[in-house]
A = this chain, B = another copy of it.
Amino acid sequence: MRLRLDLAYDGTDFRGWAKQPGLRTVQGELEAALDTILRTTGTSVTVAGRTDTGVHARGQVVHVDLDEEALVRVAGHGRRTPTEALLRRLNGVVDADLRIHRVAEAAPGFDARFSATWRRYAYRIADNETMFDPLRRSHVVAWQWPLDLDALNEASSLLVGLRDFAAFCKQREGRTTIRTLLDFRWTRDDGILVADVRADAFCHSMVRSLVGCVTAVGQGREDAQWAARVMAGRVRPPDVYVAPAHGLTLEEVGYPSDAELGVQAGLARARRSLDTPDPGQVPPR
């Protein structure tokens, strides 16, 4: 049977999501906890959004396939259902910087990675000395210069749409850098600048490069059209700053209704296997 797990973590003390021998990673901790509780070995989870070292998550989603009997054993003769019992046991085993919020049987056809239709990240910046909140320093970046909200939004709006994000991606052989950036908007919340960044999918370090690019505009070093020119160049220029990891939090992953799950997973798998399409496929600005 397949379970869906919803989780949150403070990325500060993890070396990112992906399991690596000898390093503390979220995947490593979670799989070890599942093995301990289920009395299994080699449990493997599939994640919606792989996060880098230092990046946080509030709405991460994974799936895991396991033996139903092993799950029933977790509940024993207690009054909790097997998934409730697993939720309690997991939070008892993992450290406080990783919390499991929900454990549920996955709908038929659900795949945490390939069923996802979008990922939403937040990037948080305190650009004013009087707003540096020590209680939020793990996930809000202290910026030395004031940033202009309107300038940030003007530059960000030019990057939204179905485009080739090669200028904001670490290039990987044979992988497309075409994505649909659905939202890229800034607000001031309690004095803190928060970027709401939503896309069908992100390539490696894309959100941090997008943030780095538009902050140059927000600081007044570049005009908004510069952001559009960087994107059109399709190569990451050396002067585009990659914003620090700890300002970034994966907030939410979007899925279609249960009935449409299988269709979405098929589409996503097909797209990921494409070679980088030729430039003609990128819609004009």
Contact = CB atoms under 8 A, between A and B. Distances in A.
Interface stretch (A33-41, A133-141, A219-227): A133-141
Interface stretch (A93-101, A164-172, A208-216, A277-285): A93-101
Given A87-B129, A91-B129, A129-B87, A9 B98 contact: no
17 contacts: A8-B135, A9-B134, A10-B134, A58-B135, A88-B129, A91-B129, A96-B134, A97-B134, A99-B129, A99-B132, A99-B133, A101-B129, A101-B130, A101-B132, A102-B130, A135-B136, A138-B138
A138 B91 CA distance: 17
B137 A97 contact: yes
Contact of A10 (B6, B88, B99, B135): B135
A63 interface: no
A35 to B, nearest CB: 22
Tell me the interface secondary structure of chain A in the complex. Answer: mixed
B10 A137 contact: yes
Contact of A99 (B97, B102, B134): B134
A185 interface: no
Interface residues on A, range: 20 to 34
Interface of A: 6, 8-10, 56, 58, 87-88, 91, 96-99, 101-102, 129-139, 249
Contact of A135 (B6, B102, B134, B139): B139
Contacts of A102: 130
